[in-house]
């Protein structure tokens, strides 16, 4: 058993490692090292917490750690990068549900301590948490109850919201925004009832208040995320990440665990900041996205003129051979096809021929913040040719060829040309300004968000149909 001094020192060390991890993830070149900071930090946090003072029940604890580690290892080996967004959403749900269970357990222990003290003032068996509760003054117990309420409410919202986000990202739930009759009034009513139950609980009502509070919060999480459209799902994932952090912080206060408080606050604040940044990148109102029910049509969409014209690999290769400058815009379709290695091979071949090749990355490309950057880093694409939207948007007008691989919303001119579009005002990559645009796409579908894209019908655009990896592998031998 380790002393409290060791545990406190470990908490500081783990917190520093978590901060370094978050800071490194903002840079593509430092991302891998940053991940290791996080791994080591979490290992330190788990070890010193598990063997700290007042911790027991190792007959249960050790098997649970082994089972969890085995499940994590299995998932890490099994899950492809294309499935990472829905995996992240699923992990958020675990954090939320854990917060609910811990808060329920904390209140049951509080009631057990108070009952024993009222009976004879002595408890025969103290858990570490019960011993802590027994030393609290009445006002401190009130704060404990507030922490329990916050943990249950935020955790329950996080759980069901993350489950629905997982379903939408995995294609198991319709990506269109859907709400029950009553819309936001149902959410508001559930929130008011939750507040009423919290007041009743703080004034001595029974455990049933916490059960009903969790049920209402489960509904709010479900209904909020169901009301958010597919175009906003990257923001939703980031937002749920923030919720899971605040839930963890609330439980950290309940358990008097400084490391959990710090870690939860880091996750919560970084997730909130990232959500705000992404909303700005998509021209979305942060509060509107959080409240849900957005991403739908604002009126009749503009009619699209022209037709989609297909081109084969030889036609694309001919244009690339004649081009001096090429920009590649990757999207979720590249991830689905696992085409990043083929893209990297194409880049090396074009650069060897003396052509200028760069990447244009939209902040919300894919279904997870930074999704495309991670895939390109995995394929060993040089960091210096991967540019953000603001860095490359003005260069499209002087670009010979743009290759769009599996993108829809982030290259949709309707965002600037159609005020009734669901993505009206969203900053996009202006690929249509290039001399020629080739869109690598499986078929004529509208993409994940269900929004039609006028880019596909423009005179300088050609549709390069087929699986992205197969299409690029067909193209590679034809490029000089």
Backbone angles phi, psi at 176, to 5 degrees: -75, 150
CB atoms within 10 A of CB 120: 8
The number of residues in the chain equals 480
pLDDT at 149: 94
Q: For the chain, which ranges sit under pLDDT 50?
A: 294-297
Closest CA to 316 of 442, 462, 454: 462
pLDDT at 122: 57
pLDDT at 295: 45
Q: Which of 409, 418, 467, 480 is catalytic?
A: 409
User: Alpha-carbon distance 161 to 255, whole Å?
Assistant: 25
CB atoms within 10 A of CB 57: 10
- Do the beta carbons of residue 420 and residue 299 sit within 8 Å? yes
Closest CA to 364 of 392, 329, 317: 329
Query: Strand pairing partners for 386?
Result: 359
| Integer CA distances (angstroms), 412 to 38, 193, 303, 343, 458, in order | 37, 42, 14, 22, 11
pLDDT tens digits along 328-384:
999 888 888 889 999 999 999 999 999 999 999 987 777 666 678 778 888 888 888
pLDDT tens digits along 248-268:
898 888 888 888 888 889 888
Work out the end-to-end distance of the chain between its first and last CA atoms, rounded to an integer number of angstroms: 67
CB atoms within 10 A of CB 67: 10
- Do the beta carbons of residue 336 and residue 366 sit within 8 Å? no
Q: How far from the centroid of its chain's Cα atoms is residue 296's Cα?
A: 21
Letter string b/e over residues 272-288, b meaning 16 or more CB atoms within 10 A of that residue's CB: bebbbebbebbebebee
User: Alpha-carbon distance 187 to 189, whole Å?
Assistant: 5
Please tell me what DSSP assigns to residue 477. Answer: G
CB atoms within 10 A of CB 186: 16
CB atoms within 10 A of CB 241: 25
* Residue 409 designated active-site: yes
pTM of the model: 0.74
What is the side-by-side strand order in the sheet with 386-388?
Answer: 386-388, 356-361, 325-330, 401-405, 436-441, 461-465
| Integer CA distances (angstroms), 332 to 233, 337, 391, in order | 13, 9, 21
3-state secondary structure of 79: coil
| Integer CA distances (angstroms), 383 to 76, 195, 374, in order | 25, 49, 11
- Nearest-10 Cα torsion for 332, 334, 338, 341: -140
């Amino acid at each position: 058993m380790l002393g409290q001094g060791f545990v406190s020192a470990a908490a500081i060390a783990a917190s520093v490692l978590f901060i370094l991890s978050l800071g490194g993830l903002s840079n593509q070149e430092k991302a891998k090292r940053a991940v290791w900071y996080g791994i080591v930090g979490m290992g330190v946090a788990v070890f010193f917490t598990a063997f700290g003072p007042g911790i027991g029940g190792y007959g249960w604890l050790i098997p649970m750690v082994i089972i969890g580690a085995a499940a994590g290892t299995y998932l890490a080996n099994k899950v492809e990068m294309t499935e990472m967004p829905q995996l992240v959403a699923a992990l958020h749900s675990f954090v939320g549900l854990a917060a609910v269970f811990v808060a329920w357990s904390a209140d049951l222990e509080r009631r057990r301590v108070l009952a024993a003290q009222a009976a004879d003032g002595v408890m025969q068996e103290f858990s570490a948490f019960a011993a802590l509760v027994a030393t609290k003054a009445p006002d401190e117990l009130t704060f404990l109850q507030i922490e329990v309420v916050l943990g249950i409410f935020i955790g329950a919202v996080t759980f069901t919201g993350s489950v629905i986000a997982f379903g939408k990202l995995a294609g198991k739930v319709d990506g269109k925004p859907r709400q029950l009759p009553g819309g936001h009034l149902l959410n508001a009513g559930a929130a008011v009832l939750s507040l009423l139950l919290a007041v009743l609980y703080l004034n001595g009502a029974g455990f049933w208040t916490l059960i009903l509070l969790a049920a209402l919060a489960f509904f709010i999480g479900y209904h909020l995320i169901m009301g958010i459209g597919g175009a906003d799902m990257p923001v939703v994932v980031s937002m749920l990440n923030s919720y899971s952090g605040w839930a963890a912080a609330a439980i950290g206060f309940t358990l008097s665990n400084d490391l959990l408080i710090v870690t939860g606050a880091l996750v919560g604040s970084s997730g909130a900041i990232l959500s705000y940044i992404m909303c700005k990148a998509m021209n979305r109102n942060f509060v509107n996205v959080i409240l849900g029910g957005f991403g739908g049509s604002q009126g009749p969409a503009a009619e699209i003129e022209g037709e989609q014209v297909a081109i084969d690999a030889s036609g694309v290769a001919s244009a690339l051979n004649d081009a001096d400058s090429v920009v590649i815009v990757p999207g979720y379709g590249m991830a689905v096809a696992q085409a990043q290695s083929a893209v990297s091979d194409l880049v090396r071949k074009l650069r060897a021929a003396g052509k200028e090749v760069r990447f244009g990355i939209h902040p919300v490309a894919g279904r997870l913040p930074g999704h495309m950057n991670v895939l390109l880093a995995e394929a060993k694409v040089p960091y210096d040719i991967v540019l953000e939207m603001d860095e490359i948007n003005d260069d499209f007008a002087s670009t010979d060829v743009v290759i769009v691989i599996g993108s829809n919303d982030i290259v949709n001119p309707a965002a600037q040309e159609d005020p009734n579009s669901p993505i009206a005002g969203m900053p996009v990559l202006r690929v249509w300004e290039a001399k020629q645009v080739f869109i690598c796409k499986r078929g004529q579908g509208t993409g994940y968000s269900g929004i039609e894209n006028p880019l596909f019908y423009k005179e300088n655009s050609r549709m390069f149909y087929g699986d992205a990896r197969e299409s690029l592998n067909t193209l590679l031998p034809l490029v000089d």
